[in-house]
Amino acid sequence: MPVFTQPMHITDQVVLGKEKPVLFSGPCAVESFDICMEIGSTIKDEAEKNGFSYVFKASFDKANRTSSGSFRGIGMDKSLEVLQRVGNELGVPLVTDIHESYQAAEVAEVADVLQIPAFLCRQTDLLLAAGKTGKAIKIKRGQFMAPEDMQYAVSKVRSTGNENVCLTERGFSLGYHNLVVDMRSLPTMRQFAPVVFDITHSVQQPGGQGGSSGGQREFAPFLARAAAAAGVDGFFIETHPEPAKALSDGPNMIPLHRMADFLEMLKECWETGNKYSAFQVE
């Protein structure tokens, strides 16, 4: 199958779709500066040891929580301040979600990558506003979208003159409270743009705990190895020192103390997949 020709430039040193995999990792949401720094500093070290470029991830607002009573964040201004401090102190680029068109320009002053949530991947005004910032744009495939249809989301961003765009796989809805990853979606979407595999949300069970989402992190290593071997350009992993106490998406997260082994495993599988990436069956 054909493969994208335009990589995504995050910084001069961090490029998605080249010879080095990119790791997008951090807590689900900005809980505090201390938590973000603990996670970010740990993952930065482990990413460097295992040959990943690193982008720190945390959401400033969890706008699509199952229940209105669930934690959404500490506020946009405080969260962006935390993100900026973390990025400056660790010397790493940042990625965070935007949910409304008006957020794009303000968030782009802090973040290097704007992430479009899966539920919003068809929102034309949001994609155009994100693209116009000139920042790298990371679009999650909607749980309801065919992989081949994501080319139109990419085209919307590129219509602004912004070529720095990638796609993210996170599974599709199969019945209630269940997601399934179709590995065929990875080479399909890689025709249009670099692809990141979202390990965390591929094992999510949306709304699976009544007023909140559940997750099956025990399956994360299996899906991660499969995607790495199938061929992707980067990985998205949420992690926390104590997932059971995380304020959002705890059941899906990889415990921070297991991330070193997880990344070592992931890089080995990625190298195997990269070795055979040109193999085709006609």
3-state secondary structure 111-149: CCEEEECHHHCCCHHHHHHHHHCCCEEEEECCCCCCHHH
Cα-Cα end-to-end distance for the chain: 9
**Confidence bin at 71 (pLDDT 50/70/90):** low
> Please, which pLDDT band fits residue 211 given cuts at 50, 70 and 90?
low
For residue 151, pLDDT over 60 is answered with yes
Helical (H) or strand (E) element with 106: helix 103-108
Say whether pLDDT at 90 is over 80: yes
The phi, psi pair for 219, rounded to 5°, reads -90, -5
CB 56 within 8 A of CB 269: no
The pTM (predicted TM-score) of the whole model is 0.94
Joined together, the tokens standing for residue 13 give 């040193």
278 or 161: which carries more pLDDT confidence? 161
Report the 10 Å Cβ neighbour count for 160: 17
Query: Is residue 183 packed enough to be buried (19+ CB in 10 Å), middle (13-18) or exposed (0-12)?
Result: middle
What pLDDT, in 10s, does the model give residues 221-236? 999 999 999 999 999 9
Tell me: pLDDT of 148 over 90: yes
Q: What are phi and psi of 12, to 5 degrees?
A: -65, -30
